[in-house]
Amino acid sequence: MDLDFTLAFFLKYIFPPLFYAFHGWAATWMAIAALFRPYEAWYFPFTKVQIPCTPGIFPKRRHKLATAVAGTITETLLTTEDVKRQVETLVTEQNIYLAVDGFVEAVLKEFRDTEKLHRLARDLSELSPALLQQYVVSIIDGLESRRDHRVGGMLEKLFDQIVLSARISKEQADEFAERIMENMVNPGQIRQILINLLTPQNIGALDDSIQAHATPPMKILAKIINVRNVCNESRRFMENDPEKANKVIFDLIRRFELKEQISQKIANFDMRSMPLQSIANLRASLISFIESFMVEHRTDILLGVERIQGEAMGTVQQAIIRFNPGSLAPQWLEKVKREISIFMYSYLKRELGALLERAIPAIGAYGMIAKKIEQFSSRQLEVLIKRICHTELQWLEFLGGFIGFWLGLVQVFINISIH
């Protein structure tokens, strides 16, 4: 009798909470397992009919899971703006200097290795002719199509920094003046210019101009010396006795110190004193002339490049071999690093946004993440999710058991109320 009472008490009041708790835990465990298992589809025996709920939810929906996770990461967790903001915080002058310093030191370390240095010199010297040829061809092609502005930009800088500020020394000015005197201001040429100038029409015009515009004393003097007659006699003298005329002109040139005056003007000439518009026109004309010359003499330039290929190879090779990192002054090296860092910092500060706007979509983070997740096997996917949510999944199983336990208690209360 006692045994029957005990069994009935157990079945009515103890067993329901335990059974419901186990049922809740088992049901939750099976539901979680159904997320991952089975890994492949199952079929009814001897048929091609797929058993429902196979494979598991995650293996079956791997593609949608991959796209959803990729979309969440790229659109919410790791947006383009987030990447730009993070990169911009890293782009500081100090960080760039550290990068430049490490790069320069790594390069100098490689140059200290004689074997590597000689190999580099040989490789670069062999490449230099082809690179030089290709570079010149690309420049000329760009000039011909009006798409390449490298030559114009380079010439503009050379003009502003070198030509515009160049000054001619006294020795160079004397040499220029000497050439001018020999080819443009020699007695023979001056005599011929005067002969061509003193025509009867010009002499008459000179006399009429004096009478019309000169002061009264000047008019009287012109009448006394007879300007027309003086000019006519001078012309006949230069035509009939060129040797003596040349001597007179040569003596006048020497007495007037014409060569010294030309030399002084050349030595004192400063292009920067010219009007700004004249400088701009001169710069534009010089650039246009050089660009047109390069296009028109394309064949000659390329032939010249071919002729210097051997010298280019030797020059590059010797320059690299002779380079000694130890000969660089620490102050100069530090200055170079600083200048490179400042240049890179200012460039990145100005262009970083545009560069990232193009680079981030080009990386294809969305497709890369989605593809990576799709490449996971079902087992890897299960391990990954359980590793991330291990504690939560365990608590979910306990929660199922806990809810089942309370349902069992509800059943006990129902049993009590019935009796």
Confidence (pTM): 0.39
Angle between the N-to-C axes of helices 62-72 and 365-374, in degrees from 0 to 180, rounded to the nearest 10: 150
Nearest one of 69, 63, 37 to 375, comparing CA atoms? 63
pLDDT tens per residue, range 287-329:
888 888 888 888 888 787 777 766 666 666 666 666 666 666 7
**Interval 54-65 mean pLDDT:** 70
User: If pLDDT is split at 50, 70 and 90, which confidence band does 349 have?
Assistant: confident
Contacts of 410 (CB under 8 A, 6+ apart): none
**Interval 26-32 mean pLDDT:** 76
**Interval 175-184 mean pLDDT:** 85
Q: Which of 42-51, 76-85, 397-406 has the lowest mean pLDDT?
A: 76-85
Nearest one of 128, 131, 148, 127 to 139, comparing CA atoms? 148
CB 410 within 8 A of CB 19: no
User: If pLDDT is split at 50, 70 and 90, which confidence band does 130 have?
Assistant: low
Secondary element (H or E) of residue 418: helix 378-418
Q: Which residue has the higher pLDDT, 125 or 261?
A: 261
Nearest one of 130, 112, 121 to 306, comparing CA atoms? 130
CB 128 within 8 A of CB 313: yes
**Interval 267-296 mean pLDDT:** 84
Q: Is a pLDDT exceeding 70 seen at residue 144?
A: yes
Q: What is the pLDDT of residue 1?
A: 47
Instruction: Give me the residue spans of the domains in the chain.
Output: 2-88+363-418, 113-167+270-328, 168-267
Q: Which residue has the higher pLDDT, 371 or 292?
A: 292
Q: How many CB atoms lie within 10 A of CB 365?
A: 17
Question: Within 13 Å and on the Cβ side, how many CA atoms surround 78?
Answer: 12
CB 48 within 8 A of CB 42: no
Beta bridge partners of 43: 50
Q: Is a pLDDT exceeding 70 seen at residue 247?
A: yes
CB 80 within 8 A of CB 363: no
Q: Phi then psi for 43, rounded to 5 degrees?
A: -130, 150
Residue holding tokens 């979509």?
A: 361
Question: Within 13 Å and on the Cβ side, how many CA atoms surround 146?
Answer: 1
**Interval 326-338 mean pLDDT:** 78
Contacts of 226 (CB under 8 A, 6+ apart): none
